[in-house]
Amino acid sequence: MTTTDGRMPTLYIPHGGGPSFFMEDGLGGKGVWDAQAAYLRGLAASLARQPKAVLVISAHWEAPRATVNVQAKPGLLFDYYGFPEHTYRLRYPAPGEPALAARVRDLLAGAGIEAGEEKERGLDHGVFIPFLLIYPEADVPIVELSLVQGLDPATHLAIGRALAPLRDEGVLIVGSGMSYHNLRAMMAMNGSGDDASRRFDAWLVETLEDADTKTRDAKLLDWMHAPDGLASHPRAEHLLPLHVAAGAAGADRARRTYADRVMGKAQSGFRFG
């Protein structure tokens, strides 16, 4: 892929609660997701230029090895359950980018990371739901990359480091997850987990905004021992897209670009570079 002027940032974004952005009363009630939706709608304008393509690492795809969607015209995977019928009729016909998919595989292989390809799976809701707001015209090619089963933080930092050259090739690397993801505590709607979410969020902001990126990465590797780390992420799949974004960021420091309380829980989004 050709090099463009200027390096793209990397992002770690929240992707909401299922299709709640497209419901009058989403999970938790009316207006709960409005601030998050507004943040996502503003992301395109926050970039200096439109990317040539977007590489998304979604919390909702795990595979035995890092696997990239190679389709030129990916469909959608409606991998949420129990929502209104109209939310299963959403459409997002963004093109894929097979050349980028091949480049991703080459970069991973060059770093000694086994990579596979996917020719049938549609873009899951960790991709199409936020990007319906970010690029509603579906005019930017999107390629999805899986997490690796086992959810090892070092593996995902290494994947990000391997993919860093894409930033100089006009590709926006986006980790799509949620900075707090304990669904049991969220759905209890009784305040359980609120304090834990604030403690973990404070640790996350301090860690990512540290000017010493070696210290940042060391803390991310040990995230389970962060204040209320496991209480905030009983399972790591919604956090590890952050590790890919941080790995690709290299020496670039993060800044928090979104902060809110969703159903009482602290949620944040970040930009590196």
Asked if residue 3 belongs to a domain, the reply is no
Residue 227 CA to residue 65 CA, distance in Å, equals 30
Whether 76 contacts 92, CB under 8 Å: yes
Whether residue 153 is contained in a domain is answered as yes
Between CA 208 and CA 257 the distance in angstroms is 12
List the domain range (segments joined by +) for residue 254: 10-272
Main-chain dihedrals φ then ψ at residue 108, nearest 5 degrees: -65, -45
In a domain, 228, yes or no: yes
Sign of CA dihedral 191, 195, 197, 202: positive
Extended strands (E) in the chain: 10-14, 53-63, 66-69, 115-118, 142-148, 171-177, 254-262, 265-272
Banded pLDDT at 26 (limits 50, 70, 90): confident
Q: Which of these, 71, 70, 49, 174, lies nearest to 117 by C-alpha position?
A: 70
Residue 1 included in any domain? no
- 1 pLDDT above the threshold of 50: no
**How far is it, in rounded angstroms, from Cα 211 to Cα 77?**
39
Residue 218 lies in a domain: yes
Residue 79 lies in a domain: yes
Output the domain CATH number for residue 264.
Answer: 3.40.830.10
The pLDDT value given to residue 255: 97
Pairing of strands 115-118, 10-14: unpaired
Instruction: Give the model's confidence band at 217: pLDDT under 50 very low, under 70 low, under 90 confident, else very high.
Output: very high
Residue 181 domain-assigned? yes
Confirm whether 201 is domain-assigned.
yes
pLDDT given for residue 192 in this prediction: 85
- Residues shown for the chain: 273
Q: What is the pLDDT of residue 5?
A: 52
Number of domains the chain is built from: 1
Average pLDDT over residues 38-60: 98
